[in-house]
């Protein structure tokens, strides 16, 4: 049986630098508007999709699906999560509790919701999941797919990681290709 390569539509390939810019731009607007904070961009990098942490972290994960599938993550220290949540809710939250997790979940929803809107101009409609927030230590995160793009940003002298892993949905490509080619006979 011959394998046929599926030509990719170059118009829908997402440039990693562009993705990093979208993430920073969304975060910049959200931190300024909702929290009155300015963020400073660190150096974006591509890394393996498997990351481990041995210190306490608050990690918010949100999924995207459509012509591209993937995950967006916001990761920060518990102290920063409490600080950001306190500012967002005009409260004094000193320990990570349900309110803090909800606030960080909503931050991830807003950041990656806005990234989604920017991506949709290029790739068409995408769906966004409800965020899940994890708090703890000694855990790994892994998303099957291509490399993560990590955009570290500094806010109020603390670091927060914005990460995104995005892969083209080849199922939709394959379905299109089968309609276009003659059936393979044994």
- When the beta carbons of 112 and 148 are compared against another protein, the nearer one is 112
3-state SS class at 96: coil
User: Is residue 132 near another protein by the rule CB under 8 A?
Assistant: no
Kindly give the interhelix angle for 98-123 and 16-35, rounded to the nearest 10 degrees. Answer: 140
Smaller CB separation from another protein, 52 or 90: 90
Least Å from the CB of residue 170 to another protein = 24
User: Does 113 help bind another protein (rule: CB under 8 A)?
Assistant: yes
**For residue 118, how far is the Cα from the chain centroid?**
13
> Could you say whether residue 71 binds another protein (CB under 8 A)?
no
Take residue 185 and report the two structure tokens written for it.
Answer: 């006979």
Residue 82 contacts residue 96 (beta carbons within 8 Å): yes
Handedness of CA 119, 123, 127, 133 (dihedral sign): negative
Which of 13, 17, 65, 117: binder of another protein (CB under 8 A)? 117
C-beta closer to another protein: residue 21 or 45: 21
Query: Cα angle vertex 113, ends 58, 150, to 5°?
Result: 50
Indicate which single residue of 37, 79, 128, 173 sits in contact with another protein (rule: CB under 8 A): 128
Residues numbered 12-51 forming contacts with another protein, rule: CB under 8 A: 29-30, 33-34
What SS3 class is residue 42? coil
Minimum CB separation of residue 117 from another protein in Å reads: 4
Phi and psi (nearest 5°) for 161? -100, 130
Q: Among 42-50, 98-106, 146-154, 178-186, which window interacts with another protein (CB under 8 A)?
A: 98-106
Strands (E) in 37-85, as ranges, are: 39-41, 45-47, 50-53, 57-66, 68-76
Residues that bind another protein (CB under 8 A): 29-30, 33-34, 85, 88-90, 98-99, 102-103, 105-106, 109-110, 113-114, 116-117, 120-121, 125, 128, 130
């Amino acid at each position: 049986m011959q394998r046929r390569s599926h030509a990719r539509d170059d118009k829908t390939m997402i440039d990693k630098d562009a993705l990093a810019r979208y993430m920073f731009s969304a975060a910049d607007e959200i931190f300024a508007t909702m929290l009155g904070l300015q963020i400073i961009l660190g150096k974006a990098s591509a890394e393996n999709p498997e990351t481990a942490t041995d210190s306490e972290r608050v990690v918010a994960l949100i999924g995207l699906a459509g012509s591209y599938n993937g995950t967006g993550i916001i990761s920060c220290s518990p102290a920063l999560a409490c600080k950001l949540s306190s500012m967002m809710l005009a409260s004094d939250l000193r320990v990570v509790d349900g309110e803090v997790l909800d606030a960080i979940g909503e931050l991830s929803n807003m950041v990656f919701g806005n990234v989604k809107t920017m991506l949709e101009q290029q790739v068409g409609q995408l769906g966004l999941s409800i965020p899940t927030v994890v708090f703890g230590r000694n855990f790994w995160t892994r998303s099957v797919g291509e490399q993560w793009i990590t955009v570290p940003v500094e806010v109020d002298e603390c670091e927060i990681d914005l990460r995104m892993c995005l892969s083209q949905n080849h199922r939709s490509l394959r379905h299109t290709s089968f309609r276009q080619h003659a059936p393979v006979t044994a």
